[in-house]
Amino acid sequence: MNASVPLSLENVTKRYGQTLALKPTSLHVAPGEMLALLGPSGCGKTTTLRIIAGFSMPNTGSVLIGGVDVTELPPNRRGLGMVFQNYSLFPHMTVGQNVAYGLKTRGMPAAERTKKVRAMLDLVRLSNFEDRSIHQMSGGQQQRVALARSLVTDPKVLLLDEPLGALDRNLRESMQFELRAIQRRLGITSIIVTHDQEEALTMSDRIAVMAEGEIVQVGTPIDIYERPQSQFVSEFLGTANIFDGTLAGPAEAGMWNVRLTLPNAPVVKVAGPPSLRGSSAIRVAVRPERLAISPESTQLRANVRGIVFRGSYYAYELDLPGLEKPIYVYSGEKTVAANDGTIGLGWPDEYAIMLSDGGVR
Amino acid sequence: MTTIVTTPQVIERRQKGPGWGQVLLAAYVLLFFAFLLLPIAIVVLVSFSSSSFIVFPMPGFSTQWYYRIVEYRPFMQSLLVSVEIALLSALAGTVLGVPAAIWAVRANTNAAQVFTNVMLAPISVPAILLGFSLLYMLSALTLGVSFLSLLITHTVVAIPYISRTVLAVYRGIPADYEEAAAVLGASRAQIFFQITMPLIKPGIFAGALFSVLISLDNLPLSFFFGGASSSSLPVVMLSYMQNQFDPSIAAIATVQMLIAIVALGIVNAIYGVDKLTAA
Ligand SMILES: Nc1ncnc2c1ncn2[C@@H]1O[C@H](COP(=O)(O)OP(=O)(O)OP(=O)(O)O)[C@@H](O)[C@H]1O
Ligand SMILES: [Mg+2]
């Protein structure tokens, strides 16, 4: 196999009794990349991570680290680093002893160990905490000790299982940037498990979105956000307004006319693959911040149900006749509805996203 | 706009004294401790009696009975046997019981569940029955009435005390610590000695302490194995009381109690009893 791929999964599956916790999954992580495994609770993120770490034996398939098949290797011989959700710092050891542990198991002499531990504690900005007990550290500090402990052994791949889940919001955001900066500086290939879409968007080079035991889409954060392939992905990452329609024929290059299933059957242009034909059912998603509203008349008119001020923008909740769910629009300006209480709705063609399927679930 | 400032009137609130409930509670607590400690206090008192019978109130003060128990060889010899058996059975119980507990917690099988319950068997059957059947079994194994038989018997009872407390402590420790150590390159042996052991130490201490105290005081099991070199203190005390009724029995009982208190004190000094009871 290819030695330049730090980590790959080849058709890995995992079954617990009757439930297939992981459907056949393949994944390749590039050198120095931070890949996020993102998905709702119970979708198989931890299962995947535990298979990579070696705690759980896959039913089929292989795990390769640096091109070497490690599927049969126990966790202590895989040369990985891992940060646990609750840090799992050894309570009977000091900060320094915790960080040194991975070097001790490798039989590194004490003097050399101390030097490496100091350097690593400097990196995570905990220079003078070596002799502190774990109980005397705050949540954010413990998080950094855990990171130092996992990095000091120069692991081939760093695994992070919801590493920031236990922190409060402000700390979380600053740790996201710090963690990312350290990861970039060391150029360490990493996999971060999270069910927080914002965290995945801020921290990773690529996101693998998981749902019900499989990876449904892999791509850069922009890719995933701007071009979700399924309704599930469009709704899991951010908010999406979903319109159903039918294919009405080709428009100009790469675009299709789609007739929306709404009272006066408006036709919109949506980019889509050339392979479409007939009058197939089409589902279209538009992000709230891409929708434009104006008091003037447009193709679509909606009733304003509510407007909420959210600091940097206004969130409009609109009722579009013919749609069950409300439409959400995020706009920087406050737009006044027409005298009849309605508002015009539209979007530039390039922001309509054609979903390939009805989405998972 | 005008603001009218008024000095707020200071209202003195009457402070309530202790109510009836609190008085009753204090009386109850006092009574409770009297009930608990009075019999023990009387035994200790009587051991310093000048009378040759156990009578209370006692006619005068004397330390003669302490001289008597030191001179009476069976007391001293059996005390030594008791202490040896208590310590050795706690040690053997730890060596045998701790691995069993560790397996029972982490092995996620029905067998482990059954085992956890069966492990309690030695302390849930009547001790007389256990002693009796162990006598038969050990005799069949040609060990008969001996120090080794007595040790084996006490170990059988020590195991459930130790493994149950270790089990409870270990259950509360998430597998994450051991997994974290594994990812950091630790072998199974390293994980056990460097991570698991330090984490379950309170359980081991507590269990071993319990088993020592139980063993020191155990009569029904020791009774079956009371030979020349293997009579424990409670057995000798019982047979002594069948013939004599002088306060030396109170003196040796006081000594035995002192040993238990010292044992607790030592464990407290090196570990802290609060940690044991928290486990
Ligand atoms: N040891 C196990 N035994 C049986 N079923 C399990 C086990 N571990 C996980 N599962 C099941 O496998 C599925 C995936 O679980 P997993 O822990 O990977 O989810 P997750 O994506 O990490 O979710 P969360 O965000 O809640 O942590 C779930 O349906 C879960 O119930
Ligand atoms: Mg999980």
Asked whether residue A130 carries a pLDDT value surpassing 90, the answer given is yes
Whether B32 and B81 share a structural domain: no
Whether B47 and B136 share a structural domain: no
Q: Which residue has the higher pLDDT, A102 or A323?
A: A102
Phi and psi of A193, rounded to 5°? -95, 130
Asked whether residue A297 carries a pLDDT value surpassing 80, the answer given is no
Residue B263 covered by a domain: yes
Is the dihedral angle over the CA atoms A293, A297, A301, A306 positive or is it negative? positive
Whether B48 and B142 share a structural domain: no
- Domain final residue pick, A189, A208, A233: A233
Whether A279 and A299 share a structural domain: yes
Does the Cβ of A215 fall within 6 Å of ligand 1? no
Residue-level pLDDT at B69? 87
User: What is the whole-number distance in angstroms between the Cα of residue A39 and the centre of ligand 2?
Assistant: 10
- Contacts with B204 (C-beta within 8 Å, 6 or more apart), sequence order: B94, B98, B162, B165, B166
Ligand 1 atom with minimal separation from the A17 CA: 4
Report the pLDDT averaged over residues B216-242.
86
Query: Touching check for B148 and chain A: CB below 8 Å?
Result: no
Atom 25 (ligand 1) nearest CA:
A41
Q: Are A312 and A359 in contact (CB under 8 A)?
A: no
Residue-level pLDDT at A103? 96
Question: What are the CA-CA distances from residue B102 to residues B124, B173, B188, B271 (Å)?
Answer: 22, 11, 13, 22
User: What is the whole-number distance in angstroms between the Cα of residue A48 and the centre of ligand 1?
Assistant: 10
Across the interface, whether the CB atoms of B183 and A74 are under 8 A apart is answered no
Residue B184 covered by a domain: yes
Pick from A275, A269, A211: which is nearest to A245 by CA? A269
Whether A84 and A125 share a structural domain: yes
Residue A342 covered by a domain: yes
Whether A123 and A222 share a structural domain: yes
Residue B1 covered by a domain: no
Predicted confidence band at A254 (pLDDT cuts at 50, 70, 90)? confident
Predicted confidence band at A166 (pLDDT cuts at 50, 70, 90)? confident
What is the DSSP annotation of chain B? ------PPPP-PPPPP---HHHHHHHHHHHHHHHHHHHHHHHHHHHTTBSSSS--SS-S-B--HHHHHHHHSHHHHHHHHHHHHHHHHHHHHHHHHHHHHHHHHHH--SHHHHHHHHHTTHHHHS-HHHHHHHHHHHHHHTT--SSHHHHHHHHHHHHHHHHHHHHHHHHHTS-THHHHHHHHTT--HHHIIIIIIHHHHHHHHHHHHHHHHHHHHH--TTGGGG--SS---HHHHHHHHHHH---THHHHHHHHHHHHHHHHHHHHHHHT-HHHHHH-
Report the pLDDT averaged over residues B62-79.
88
Residue-level pLDDT at A358? 43
- Which of A46, A195, A196 is the best mutation target for the ligand 1 pocket, counting ligand atoms within 8 Å of the beta carbon and taking the most? A46
User: Using one digit for the tens of pLDDT, what is the confidence trace for B128-149?
Assistant: 899 889 999 998 998 888 899 9
Does the Cβ of A55 fall within 6 Å of ligand 1? no
Rounded-to-integer distance, Cα A44 and Cα A120, Å: 32
- What protein residues have CB closer than 5 angstroms to ion ligand 2? A 46
Whether B267 and B213 share a structural domain: yes
For residue B160, whether the previous peptide bond is cis, meaning omega lies within 30 degrees of 0, is no
Across the interface, whether the CB atoms of A88 and B182 are under 8 A apart is answered no
Report the pLDDT averaged over residues A3-10.
89
Whether A159 and A193 share a structural domain: yes
Residue-level pLDDT at B60? 84
User: Using one digit for the tens of pLDDT, what is the confidence trace for A50-63?
Assistant: 999 999 999 999 99
Residue A203 covered by a domain: yes
User: What is the whole-number distance in angstroms between the Cα of residue A146 and the centre of ligand 2?
Assistant: 18
Retrieve residue A233's tokens. Answer: 């992905």
> What does the mean pLDDT of chain A come to?
90
Retrieve residue A248's tokens. Answer: 């009405």
User: A80 contacts in B (CB within 8 Å)?
Assistant: 183
Whether B33 and B139 share a structural domain: no
Whether A48 and A177 share a structural domain: yes
- Domain final residue pick, B24, B46, B64: B64
User: Using one digit for the tens of pLDDT, what is the confidence trace for B20-50?
Assistant: 888 999 999 999 999 999 999 998 988 898 8
Residue A2 covered by a domain: no
- How close, in Å, is residue B204 to chain A by CA atoms? 16
Find the range with the poorest average confidence among A83-92, A150-159, B231-240, B267-276: B267-276
User: What is the whole-number distance in angstroms between the Cα of residue A56 and the centre of ligand 1?
Assistant: 12
Residue A299 covered by a domain: yes
User: What is the whole-number distance in angstroms between the Cα of residue B243 and the centre of ligand 1?
Assistant: 70
What is the dihedral angle through the alpha carbons of A85, A89, A95, A99, rounded to the nearest 10 degrees?
A: -80
Residue A15 covered by a domain: yes
Question: What are the CA-CA distances from residue B154 to residues A112, B165, B220, B247 (Å)?
Answer: 49, 17, 11, 29
Residue B172 covered by a domain: yes
What CATH number is given to the structural domain containing B236? Answer: 1.10.3720.10
Whether A283 and A311 share a structural domain: yes
Residue A360 covered by a domain: no
Does the Cβ of A44 fall within 6 Å of ligand 1? yes
Domain residues for the domain of A295 are 240-355
Across the interface, whether the CB atoms of B179 and A55 are under 8 A apart is answered yes
- How close, in Å, is residue B262 to chain A by CA atoms? 27
Whether B30 and B125 share a structural domain: no
Nearest-Cα residue of chain B relative to residue A76? B185
Q: What is the ipTM of this complex?
A: 0.84
User: Using one digit for the tens of pLDDT, what is the confidence trace for A197-231?
Assistant: 889 998 999 999 999 999 999 999 999 999 999 99
What CATH number is given to the structural domain containing A21? Answer: 3.40.50.300
- How close, in Å, is residue B107 to chain A by CA atoms? 14
Rounded-to-integer distance, Cα A176 and Cα A221, Å: 15
- How close, in Å, is residue A300 to chain B by CA atoms? 54
Across the interface, whether the CB atoms of B187 and A88 are under 8 A apart is answered no
Pick from A233, A266, A281, A280: which is nearest to A349 by CA? A266
Q: Which of residues 116-155 of A touch B (CB under 8 A)?
A: 149-150, 153
Predicted confidence band at A71 (pLDDT cuts at 50, 70, 90)? very high
Question: What are the CA-CA distances from residue B93 to residues A12, A127, B97, B143, B268 (Å)?
Answer: 44, 45, 5, 19, 21
Residue-level pLDDT at A153? 95
Is residue A94 helix, strand or coil? strand
Residue-level pLDDT at A340? 77
| Total domains, chain A | 2
Predicted confidence band at A357 (pLDDT cuts at 50, 70, 90)? low
Asked whether residue A339 carries a pLDDT value surpassing 80, the answer given is no
Whether B45 and B81 share a structural domain: no
Residue-level pLDDT at A304? 87
Predicted confidence band at A322 (pLDDT cuts at 50, 70, 90)? confident
Report the pLDDT averaged over residues A75-90.
94
- Contacts with B254 (C-beta within 8 Å, 6 or more apart), sequence order: B43, B44, B47
Asked whether residue A296 carries a pLDDT value surpassing 60, the answer given is yes
Report the pLDDT averaged over residues A61-69.
94
- How close, in Å, is residue B200 to chain A by CA atoms? 11
DSSP state, A290?
G
CB-facing half-sphere around the CA of A66: CA atoms within 13 A? 7
Rounded-to-integer distance, Cα A134 and Cα A93, Å: 7
Q: Are A158 and A81 in contact (CB under 8 A)?
A: yes
Report the pLDDT averaged over residues A351-358.
79
User: Using one digit for the tens of pLDDT, what is the confidence trace for A227-239?
Assistant: 999 999 999 988 8
Asked whether residue A359 carries a pLDDT value surpassing 50, the answer given is no
Predicted confidence band at B210 (pLDDT cuts at 50, 70, 90)? confident
Whether B86 and B50 share a structural domain: no
- Domain final residue pick, A195, A216, A233: A233
Residue-level pLDDT at B279? 46
Report the pLDDT averaged over residues A306-311.
88
Atom 14 (ligand 1) nearest CA:
A44
Residue B3 covered by a domain: no
Q: Are B252 and B233 in contact (CB under 8 A)?
A: yes
Whether B202 and B101 share a structural domain: yes
Whether the full predicted model's pTM is greater than 0.90, yes or no, is no
Residue A127 covered by a domain: yes
> What does the mean pLDDT of chain B come to?
87
Whether A106 and A164 share a structural domain: yes
Atom 18 (ligand 1) nearest CA:
A44
| Total domains, chain B | 2
Q: Which of residues 153-182 of B touch A (CB under 8 A)?
A: 174, 176-177, 179-182
- Domain final residue pick, A178, A199, A233: A233
Nearest-Cα residue of chain A relative to residue B179? A55
Phi-psi region of A79 (alpha: psi -120 to 50; beta: other; left: phi over 0): left
Report the pLDDT averaged over residues B93-104.
93
Number of C-beta neighbours around residue A155 at 10 A: 23
Whether A274 and A299 share a structural domain: yes
Does the Cβ of A237 fall within 6 Å of ligand 1? no
Atom 12 (ligand 1) nearest CA:
A21
Residue-level pLDDT at A335? 77
Domain residues for the domain of B104 are 70-275
Whether A50 and A190 share a structural domain: yes
Q: What angle do CA A2, A163, A40 make, to 5 degrees?
A: 85
Whether A263 and A131 share a structural domain: no
Retrieve residue A181's tokens. Answer: 């900066």
Whether A195 and A246 share a structural domain: no
Residue-level pLDDT at B56? 77
Nearest-Cα residue of chain A relative to residue B200? A92
Asked whether residue A278 carries a pLDDT value surpassing 80, the answer given is no
Predicted confidence band at A361 (pLDDT cuts at 50, 70, 90)? very low
Residue-level pLDDT at A145? 95
User: What is the whole-number distance in angstroms between the Cα of residue A54 and the centre of ligand 2?
Assistant: 16
Kind plus residue range of the DSSP H or E element containing A224: helix A221-226
Whether B135 and B260 share a structural domain: yes
Residue A361 covered by a domain: no
Residue-level pLDDT at A214? 93
Q: Which amino acid is at A193?
A: V
Residue-level pLDDT at B195? 96
User: B186 contacts in A (CB within 8 Å)?
Assistant: 76, 101, 105
Whether A198 and A250 share a structural domain: no
Asked whether residue A48 carries a pLDDT value surpassing 80, the answer given is yes
Whether B57 and B92 share a structural domain: no
Predicted confidence band at B120 (pLDDT cuts at 50, 70, 90)? confident
Rounded-to-integer distance, Cα B110 and Cα B121, Å: 18
Retrieve residue B265's tokens. Answer: 């004190």
Nearest-Cα residue of chain B relative to residue A146? B180
Whether B39 and B133 share a structural domain: no
